[in-house]
Amino acid sequence: MAIFDIEKDELLRLSDMQLEELIARLAEAEVAAHSYSPAWVNWSGSINAPDGGIDIHIQVPVEQLSTGFLTRSDTILQAKKHSMPKREITKEMLSGSQLSPTISEQAAKGGSYIIVSLADDCSPIMKKERLKAMRDAVNEDPNGGNIHLDFYDRSKLTQWLRQHPSIMLWVKGKLGQGLSGWQPYGAWSNPPQGVADTFISAPGVTITLPSRGEQKLCIEYAIQSMRNLIRSTNKAVRITGLSGVGKTRIVQALFDETVGVDALDRTIAVYVDAGANPDPSATAMLDRLIAEGRRAIMILDNCPSELHSLLASRISAAGEGVSLITVEYDIKDDKPQTTEVIHIEATGPEVAEQLLNRRFPNLGQNNARRIAAFADGNARVSLVIAERVENGESLAHLSDAQLFNRLFEQRNRPDENLREQVEILSLVYSFSVSDSENSQNELEVLGSILGHSHSQLFRSVQKLLGRTYCAEESAVESNITPRYCEQIGKIGT
């Protein structure tokens, strides 16, 4: 089966709430595809919430709207998991012998009323009978001739779903058929369960845009420029920065309507962590999006330079339709002619400090400030240290070296041999653990400094990868950035 296809009968496994959310998401995507905000779509999100007989209500402030699936700017979509024959339609639309006030009001406005029945898969005659029942229900209303009526069965719903790849990812995930690693818009930065994921835009992080030369902007001013660049360029956008500066959360904020104005369309976002061995591969996904003429923004987190360069050239050749955002710690061999580069830096502890206060409310302001300052504003390092602070403990008496020991050892036994080898690895910004026919064995070169073998350093690298903070592995498992090993250079020597 194609990546963006689904058997219509698979949708029968959706719950009532999932069906309503699916229809709401499709309505948001449909509205957004015609350059209107998804915020014009309202739905309760709960089958138990009082809705006045309205499941999903679309109210786009324009005189006319015709998208193929929506024919009026004011449309009510009623989600029904069960079958809706004539008697059920009459029961749904009438209150006693009178037309439901909600539908009567919709008729007065010249709006649209659509019933979406998951259980029904209608022949032309069956659909005609259902439309007649809907028309009969409004006949006695003085404005009955003004309302647009339609009936969507399971086949129509599936046809609508096939138009929106991001929504297809969502529904397949709900049905347990999710494509490995691929996600629609969501909390890509993986905050702990129950922790607020609102965006932190405090000072302490700067963003450099290709159109601004070397000028460093604060997040508040950079977000809109980033959105404009992604919308306007026919090149891939590469977002770089050291691990822990919040790259993924900033990308997520680009689609967040609560951050600034005119957010990117979240209904067409397709996200994957390239280091998680996605299936289909990033190349296959991009090829399919381009081949099918899909409108999408594809986001690849932890994307190595080689993969970025390959995909960027395809984006440039394809022209409009699919936008590409890749995220990684280093730009390396990216080709400027096919790439717009945005660089993010942590320049102070403010963001890390606020994040600690949010994630660890019992940590205390002084401890949060001490950890953020020690970590040079690196959020990931800060979080690892905070996780190891005992309840009621004060870090004021600990030296930088003692804090570093907590970071490095992470409740493991002290290992001076590992520490010495990591000191060697920290001499360079990044290194390769793979053997290449065209280059030297980098671990062997580094090991020769203090007489360690390639295999010894390789085992140390594996230990680092097993610890929360120490290493960052690329999608091809050959490039590792010892971002946190810089702390050794500062403190451990």
Rounded Cα distance between 288 and 282, Å, is 10
- Give residue 24's pLDDT: 97
| C-beta pairs of 227-230 under 8 Å, 24+ apart in sequence | 227/254, 227/260, 227/262, 227/263, 227/264, 229/340, 229/342, 230/254, 230/264, 230/297, 230/323, 230/325
Contact 24, 78 (CB under 8 A): no
In a shared domain, residues 229 and 333: yes
Domain of 242: which CATH number?
3.40.50
Residue-level pLDDT at 166: 94
Same domain, residue pair 142 and 204:
no
- The length of the chain in residues reads 493
For residue 271, the cross-strand partners are 183, 299
Do 24 and 165 lie in one domain? The reply is: yes
Name the β-bridge partners of 240.
Answer: 328, 343
Single residue among 175, 194, 216 that ends a domain in this structure: 175
Question: Is 368 within a domain?
Answer: no
CA distance 136 to 389: 69
| Sequential pLDDT tens for the chain (493 residues) | 567 889 999 999 999 999 999 999 999 999 999 999 999 999 976 555 545 568 999 999 999 999 999 999 999 999 999 999 999 999 999 988 899 999 999 999 999 999 999 999 999 999 999 999 999 999 999 999 999 999 999 999 999 999 999 999 999 999 988 778 899 999 998 877 777 777 777 777 889 998 877 788 988 889 999 999 999 999 999 999 877 778 999 999 999 999 999 999 999 999 999 988 898 999 999 999 999 888 999 999 999 888 999 999 999 888 788 999 999 876 554 456 789 999 998 778 888 888 888 888 889 999 999 998 888 888 878 888 888 888 889 998 888 888 888 777 766 777 777 777 777 777 666 666 666 555 677 777 887 887 778 787 788 777 776 665 555 554 333 333 334 444 444 544 4
Whether 379 maps to a domain, the answer reads: no
Q: Which residues contact 36 (CB under 8 A, 6 or more apart)?
A: 60, 62, 65
Q: Residue 213's CB: how many other CB atoms inside 10 A? A: 8
Beta bridge partners of 99: 94
Question: Are residues 112 and 33 both part of a single domain?
Answer: yes
29 and 134 both lie in a single domain: yes
Identify each DSSP E strand in 143-288 by its residue range. 148-152, 205-208, 216-218, 236-240, 269-273
Type of residue found at 436: S
Q: How many CB atoms lie within 10 A of CB 314?
A: 16
Which CATH number goes with the domain that contains 38?
3.40.1350
> For residue 52, what pLDDT is reported?
59
Count of CB atoms situated within 10 Å of the CB of 271:
24
In a domain, 386, yes or no: no
421 in a structural domain: yes
Partners of 236 in the β-ladder: 339
Residues spanned by the domain of 405: 399-492
Domain end marker among 346, 369, 387: 346
Do 268 and 288 fall into the same domain? Answer: yes
Q: Do 431 and 446 form a contact (C-beta atoms < 8 A)? A: yes
Question: Is residue 388 in some structural domain?
Answer: no
Q: What distance separates the 2 farthest-apart alpha carbons in the chain?
A: 93
Contact 481, 471 (CB under 8 A): yes
Q: In angstroms, rounded to a whole number, what is the distance separating the alpha carbons of residues 227 and 233?
A: 10
- Is residue 485 within 8 A of residue 422, CB to CB? The reply is yes
- Domain boundary pick from 160, 175, 190: 175
The whole-number pLDDT of residue 481 equals 38
Amino acid at 492: G
DSSP 213: T
- Are 483 and 329 within 8 A, CB to CB? yes
Query: 464 near 484, Cβ under 8 Å?
Result: no
- Domain contains 390: no
Looking up tokens 């909600």 gives: 102
- Given this model, what pLDDT does residue 361 score? 86
Are 456 and 474 members of one domain? yes
Judge if 116 and 248 occupy the same domain.
no
Q: Total domain count for the chain?
A: 3
Q: Which two tokens stand for residue 244?
A: 């822990």
pLDDT of residue 47: 55
Do 26 and 91 share a structural domain?
yes
Q: Cα 84 vs. chain centroid, distance in angstroms?
A: 36
What pLDDT shows up at residue 97? Answer: 86
| Residue 355 belongs to some domain of the structure | no
Q: Are residues 216 and 305 both part of a single domain? A: yes
Report whether 228 contacts 308 (CB < 8 A). no
In angstroms, how far is CA 367 from the centroid of its own chain?
A: 31
**244 and 97 both lie in a single domain:** no
What is the rounded distance in angstroms from the CA atom of residue 467 to the CA atom of residue 486?
16
252 vs 299: CA distance, rounded Å: 10
Q: Where residue 478 sits, what CATH number does that domain have? A: 1.10.10
Same domain, 210 and 159: no
Residue 40 forms part of a structural domain: yes
Residue with tokens 């009001």: 105
